[in-house]
Structure 1
């Protein structure tokens, strides 16, 4: 910092400026700082910010916050992907000092003689402003200067034109004794980095034919998986995530349900990467050719889906790296290579890479692999277990990739300690898996989401109600309403959410003693009758489509920083809102955590958080049912888990036109059909 005035506690700043803060194109980014000065003269603050092109953006004046705290606030809206720089400046504002002094002295009864020096000072300041304001405004400055010097005029008329320039000289201030703060960075990603809806499926299961006594199993291919794309797109997802698509090792291959012995038809885990056919830059021959993959990516794009690929930096025992670079792994005392363990779990089919052995060689190879797939049209990577690799490696890799391809995004699949999860976000991961799955009460969810909002300057959550590895007890035992509840929470609390295939079919049976699916798709083919379930009303797909449509149509749901919780007097219910001041869009959600019984509650809404005054009445339209209600600060709600476990309310004033509703008849499947699916 250079200059006269203290500038402290600047935000957004991550780890004292060691890492850039995060934003996306078009996001309203709050900037604040504490700045103060001696005496009674007025202080002003502004933000100077430069885009990736090195050009300064428009002057942004900061406004003071709560009186007496000396914290200043402004917002900036980046308009391009890349590395941005912002600086807070503080300055002496002679016009505001003059304005404050003159109005107080006149109010105290002082006359022209006592104000002679003040009037002269006003002339000086206005003349200094002449070169700062737009040409069209200079006439008003000249008129104010003449009035200040007009001794024949009554005092109020002499000062009135100059006092009337307050708004103009706020926007174009005379700045003296300018102090420049430290420079801080904001990395700006494309919109999908913050707002996205993910769907995960195994291509090999789509169109697969399981083994019979007469014929071996037959894997699905990229061609057969293409037939599933319209169904995924119809549910409103925009990111299609594929587990690893590489050759699968044969050595120590796992059988069904993670058994240690695989039969001749067992397909193995896609995360046991590498075999004689190749490694991380190769496609499993059962799925097709590289051209088949390109065709699949192109077909997905035609349906509005961007393909995300799994980046799992581990190897099967027969991966080419094991033969070509045995030094990249850990050798045990008996000379064998150590397989992966997370005691008491053992992964005999996987060798973890030791990043401390030949780090330069490993880095070069991984960067080559990532750039290979970027060249094949993949711009999103879901990274498997990044917390088991060095943090400085990820900082380097993501930086190198984004230096050439700034649109590439990385999702961290790290269910681990909070410090590590936050650390991975700070060093560059675009999105993060979270503890959402294990927050199963309203109080837990509110506390956790408030923690995430506090970290919004660098961490972007992605909420998943299920994954191939995780089938929480709430879904195992909660019945069909719990699937709706968890979908509402995931889709509307977080700007990014995702679900693993089978969620829409209410798949809920776990392997005994484990928090994962029985007959897990990680180890076997699992074709599903999507069309039949939908036709018979045994699918949650229409409800999911409604949620994703609501997300798309309401800009307030595209952001995280605007998440606000409201009080409700039933601990089984949660109430939150998101308000977008740019568009005026506001969404208010009340959701039950009880999938078995009806719950009542009474809200006490924070009206200013909704963009309203405390006494306002307003109309809400339920996007799930189309019903309309007249609401105020306090409202009674009734949530029936089988009929409607949540209200998703779009606000509008009574005189505003009614919005289009996303609700459809099929979007609220009957309790009877849901129950039939659950018990079948």
Structure 2
């Protein structure tokens, strides 16, 4: 296949070369509904966000579907194409195909865009005299109806296509078309002439050079293509201040530093993670500082919540002096790069009462009726150590300040930001910020930490957040996982990229509280195989699950409010950790393209209520996951596979290889599984004839 920026595939055929497109006529203009419908109606185009106000999401090399409804009056044939335009303005045509169910006039094409940047696409519907003639000829000629007229019409179509081929310099194809015209007019049995005229090479030639009438384009709709890490990544979160933290000879805490935390970078890389996320690293306020377990009174050794940002030593543009200086941070970022890691930095748009901006720009914050600055609240929760910004006060000043903060950290090697509580800030602010950053640094990515209502989460995705936290944390039953993942992969996939974190410093899911070590394995397997992006907060691999209080989802002795140095070496020696599993899951993800994409997910049938079965497929690469969702019992179940979704024939027998245990079995459409406490899940690759279970694959 020719190497082009756009590849064309269909649901039933391999990728084909996309042909260069000539400019299409402008869309119909005017007022009223009729003015928006072309000669050939093209409706229900997707992916289109808010009428094209925002760009749909894609990543470099990611295959996604473009759909439209295309039809016309009467019985003549219509056809459709997608015209994609790359950031340099070069147009490429991708032919669309009708899709099921037939009779609904649904058309689609799968495209893969090869370079980062702002692309557009439009759909062109057009009348297709060639397909109209084929339909009529295949009926009339065998029946002896209007034979001479059909031959005359067909010959004219071939001659016209041959002329267009010669004008394009494609003389070989012109010869094929000329031969078809001669063969159709040859003095031989008319059915034989029709057979020659409809040969595969002739059909292919007419596919490229056949006539198009009444070409009717839609407007150009935007698609922004991000680097691959926007879609596919594995995150590991830890607090640098805890790595190397210790008590001195007087029993006082000494903070870890960026230099001592480098050993945790090495551990994250060894487990196969590629993004390390740091909570805020800035100076922490002293006013209303929170103590251990979020108490209102901090002791002399309590470091405070890193989200209470700012004191006399600086704000968001400064580093907590206990962690080091900018040189130390630069060494930390450089070491991460050597290990193949990227640093994601927390971007928390809030300030402690001691933040320099509180004195310099008090107008930037909300004030109560008594004139005092309002601290953050989510009743009944109160955050006395945090002030929120009022983005409707000095809008230009606040915007400029935050853009400067983002650019500062970008200049120190940060290309990924995890944004704290973006749903409590105006959506229009984010749209503005992302547009400004994208002008100069389109590779910079933003993750939305927004556990909130769907409308807000979706809006944040539409205006530019590259990834978002999800409800995965609270989806544990089979029916709710299937329902939620169907939504994520088919309804919101063009604007919302899910990041499946299995835990966070704020959230200790109840499933992990009562499910024992098996629960940790189950959630890791689900997150790593259901979503192309997933994340782990440090301590998960040690099975940490002590809860603050019954009915709460908060860790006892939360690292948000104290130092939590962990004895990683002892955990390694004892084997009481999930390091090997996490590393193996990340390795499987790197080796299998099926797990690096969001959309091609199929759920299969298991009659057992706690056994979930699903597959992901990318070309010939197929991964089947079977998982027991109940960590307290062994599950035995038959499973019934959708063979078409796997690219297999209904009665085919095939080999599956468990990428976790190394075992292999022969399966058919029906199979049996037994899932135990030690092995509650299978991650299976389908081994086709001639393949090896351990064959190498390209790592993106």
From 531, 546, 549, give the equivalent of 2:584: 546
Confirm or deny that 1:205 pairs with 2:242.
Answer: yes
Aligned pair in 2 of structure 1 residues 334, 244: CA closer, same or farther (>3 Å)?
A: same
Aligned pair in 2 of structure 1 residues 114, 183: CA closer, same or farther (>3 Å)?
A: closer
1:236-251 equivalences under 5 Å are 236-251=272-287
Residue number in structure 2 paired with 1:30: 65
The separation in 2 between residues aligned to 1:363 and 1:607, in whole angstroms, is: 53
Q: 1:210: Cα distance to partner?
A: 3.6
Residue number in structure 1 paired with 2:252: 216
Residue number in structure 1 paired with 2:519: 482
Residue number in structure 2 paired with 1:586: 622
From 91, 94, 97, give the equivalent of 2:126: 91
Confirm or deny that 1:48 pairs with 2:83.
Answer: yes
The separation in 2 between residues aligned to 1:435 and 1:505, in whole angstroms, is: 23
TM score, norm. by length of structure 2: 0.91
Residue number in structure 1 paired with 2:559: 521
1:9-20 equivalences under 5 Å are 9-20=44-55
The separation in 2 between residues aligned to 1:313 and 1:335, in whole angstroms, is: 22
From 369, 373, 378, give the equivalent of 1:333: 369
Q: CA RMSD in A?
A: 1.6
Residue number in structure 2 paired with 1:412: 448
The separation in 2 between residues aligned to 1:277 and 1:29, in whole angstroms, is: 48
SS of the equivalent of 2:410 reads helix
1:451-470 equivalences under 5 Å are 451-453=487-489, 454-470=491-507
From 470, 476, 488, give the equivalent of 1:440: 476
Q: 1:660: Cα distance to partner?
A: 5.0
Q: 1:132: Cα distance to partner?
A: 5.1
Structure 2 unaligned blocks of 5 or more: 1-26, 29-37
Q: 1:134: Cα distance to partner?
A: 2.8
- Does the aligned pair in 2 maintain the 1:329–1:353 contact within 8 Å? yes
From 138, 142, 156, give the equivalent of 1:107: 142
SS of the equivalent of 1:347 reads strand
Q: 1:445: Cα distance to partner?
A: 1.1
Q: 1:375: Cα distance to partner?
A: 1.0
The separation in 1 between residues aligned to 2:125 and 2:387, in whole angstroms, is: 56
The separation in 2 between residues aligned to 1:37 and 1:221, in whole angstroms, is: 68
- Does the aligned pair in 1 maintain the 2:70–2:106 contact within 8 Å? yes
Residue number in structure 2 paired with 1:634: 670
1:338-349 equivalences under 5 Å are 338-349=374-385
In the TM superposition, what whole-angstrom CA distance separates every residue of 1:497-520 from its partner, at most 9, and x where no partner exists? 001000000101011243111111
SS of the equivalent of 2:88 reads coil
The separation in 2 between residues aligned to 1:112 and 1:191, in whole angstroms, is: 56
- Does the aligned pair in 2 maintain the 1:314–1:350 contact within 8 Å? yes
Residue number in structure 2 paired with 1:568: 606
1:632-671 equivalences under 5 Å are 632-641=668-677, 643-659=678-694
Q: 1:75: Cα distance to partner?
A: 1.2
From 640, 663, 682, give the equivalent of 1:604: 640
Q: 1:188: Cα distance to partner?
A: 0.8
The separation in 2 between residues aligned to 1:413 and 1:388, in whole angstroms, is: 11
Q: 1:111: Cα distance to partner?
A: 7.1
Residue number in structure 2 paired with 1:676: none
The separation in 1 between residues aligned to 2:561 and 2:147, in whole angstroms, is: 90
Residue number in structure 2 paired with 1:63: 97
Q: 1:146: Cα distance to partner?
A: 2.4
The separation in 2 between residues aligned to 1:630 and 1:345, in whole angstroms, is: 55
Residue number in structure 2 paired with 1:668: none
SS of the equivalent of 2:54 reads coil
- Does the aligned pair in 2 maintain the 1:128–1:174 contact within 8 Å? no
Moved more, 481-490 or 329-338: 329-338
Q: 1:128: Cα distance to partner?
A: 4.7
Residue number in structure 2 paired with 1:667: none
The separation in 2 between residues aligned to 1:191 and 1:443, in whole angstroms, is: 31
The separation in 1 between residues aligned to 2:503 and 2:175, in whole angstroms, is: 66
The separation in 2 between residues aligned to 1:325 and 1:91, in whole angstroms, is: 60
- Does the aligned pair in 1 maintain the 2:83–2:121 contact within 8 Å? yes
From 75, 79, 82, give the equivalent of 2:117: 82
Q: 1:277: Cα distance to partner?
A: 0.7
Aligned pair in 2 of structure 1 residues 135, 277: CA closer, same or farther (>3 Å)?
A: farther
Residue number in structure 2 paired with 1:665: none
Residue number in structure 2 paired with 1:401: 437
From 298, 301, 312, give the equivalent of 1:262: 298
Residue number in structure 1 paired with 2:5: none
Aligned pair in 2 of structure 1 residues 115, 268: CA closer, same or farther (>3 Å)?
A: closer
In the TM superposition, what whole-angstrom CA distance separates every residue of 1:268-306 from its partner, at most 9, and x where no partner exists? 010000011111011111111101101100100111110
- Does the aligned pair in 1 maintain the 2:314–2:356 contact within 8 Å? yes
- Does the aligned pair in 2 maintain the 1:132–1:173 contact within 8 Å? no
Residue number in structure 1 paired with 2:224: 187
The separation in 1 between residues aligned to 2:594 and 2:534, in whole angstroms, is: 15
The separation in 2 between residues aligned to 1:505 and 1:123, in whole angstroms, is: 71
Confirm or deny that 1:231 pairs with 2:257.
Answer: no
The separation in 2 between residues aligned to 1:123 and 1:300, in whole angstroms, is: 62
The separation in 2 between residues aligned to 1:362 and 1:324, in whole angstroms, is: 12
In the TM superposition, what whole-angstrom CA distance separates every residue of 1:161-220 from its partner, at most 9, and x where no partner exists? 4322112222443222211112111111100001000000000000011467x2321000
The separation in 2 between residues aligned to 1:494 and 1:369, in whole angstroms, is: 31
Confirm or deny that 1:312 pairs with 2:325.
Answer: no
SS of the equivalent of 2:436 reads helix
Q: 1:115: Cα distance to partner?
A: 3.7
The separation in 2 between residues aligned to 1:109 and 1:629, in whole angstroms, is: 57
Q: 1:124: Cα distance to partner?
A: 4.4
1:262-301 equivalences under 5 Å are 262-301=298-337
Q: 1:105: Cα distance to partner?
A: 1.3
Q: 1:120: Cα distance to partner?
A: 4.4
SS of the equivalent of 1:185 reads strand
SS of the equivalent of 2:234 reads strand
Q: 1:157: Cα distance to partner?
A: 4.4
In the TM superposition, what whole-angstrom CA distance separates every residue of 1:546-577 from its partner, at most 9, and x where no partner exists? 11111111100001111111111011111110
Q: 1:114: Cα distance to partner?
A: 5.2
- Does the aligned pair in 2 maintain the 1:211–1:265 contact within 8 Å? no
Question: How many equivalent residue pairs?
Answer: 656
Confirm or deny that 1:375 pairs with 2:395.
Answer: no
TM score, norm. by length of structure 1: 0.94
